[in-house]
């Protein structure tokens, strides 16, 4: 995407998808149209609420922890073992291992130069890091 003259983009990182979604809604309510929320991961990510949720109807252990999609049944035994051995799944290793800065949810926003400070203030109010 190429920004038009006078446009600016914001990339803000959040520790949870909830806080990122709340910030996106607040931005939308304030009249900012072009926002998006994504999860940052070293693995391919397809966040499917039917598969990756706290009640966990996931078909694999890595579904809710690595936000892998429902392809667990398509993986080989070796691939499933390697994903399950990742420190973020097993619980061993550093806190927030493999998470970009400990904040795995990315909010993107495109706005005009004149509204950048207003948008940044809203993002920070919801715990976002710029």
Q: Strand order of the sheet with strand 7-14?
A: 7-14, 105-112, 34-39
Distances (CA, A) of 100 to 13, 106, 107, 109: 9, 10, 13, 19
49 in the same domain as 36 = no
49 in the same domain as 29 = no
Report whether pLDDT(51) > 50. Answer: no
Are residues 74 and 2 in contact, defined by beta-carbon separation less than 8 angstroms? Answer: no
50 in the same domain as 84 = yes
Structural domain of 2: 1-40+99-130
- Radius of gyration for the alpha carbons in the chain, expressed in angstroms and rounded: 17
90 in the same domain as 61 = yes
Distances (CA, A) of 124 to 70, 108, 116, 127: 33, 13, 12, 5
Are residues 81 and 66 in contact, defined by beta-carbon separation less than 8 angstroms? Answer: no
Instruction: Read off the pLDDT of residues 72-120 as tens digits, 9 standing for 90 and up.
Output: 566 677 776 777 676 666 665 555 555 545 677 889 999 999 999 999 9
Instruction: Read off the pLDDT of residues 28-49 as tens digits, 9 standing for 90 and up.
Output: 999 998 899 887 766 554 555 5
CATH number, domain with residue 17: 3.30.70.2750
106 in the same domain as 86 = no
Q: How far apart are CA 112 and CA 93, in angstroms?
A: 42
Domain count, the chain: 2
């Amino acid at each position: 995407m190429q920004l038009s003259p006078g446009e600016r983009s914001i990339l803000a990182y959040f520790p949870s998808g909830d806080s990122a979604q709340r910030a996106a809604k607040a931005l939308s309510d304030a009249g900012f149209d072009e926002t998006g929320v994504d999860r940052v991961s070293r693995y391919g990510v397809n966040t499917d609420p039917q598969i990756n949720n706290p009640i966990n109807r996931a078909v694999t252990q890595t579904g809710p922890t690595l936000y892998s999609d429902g392809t667990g049944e398509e993986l080989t035994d070796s691939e499933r073992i390697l994903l399950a051995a990742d420190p973020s799944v097993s619980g061993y290793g550093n806190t927030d291992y493999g998470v970009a800065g400990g904040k795995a949810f990315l909010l993107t926003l495109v706005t005009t130069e004149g509204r950048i400070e207003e948008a940044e203030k809203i993002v920070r109010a919801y715990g976002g890091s710029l």
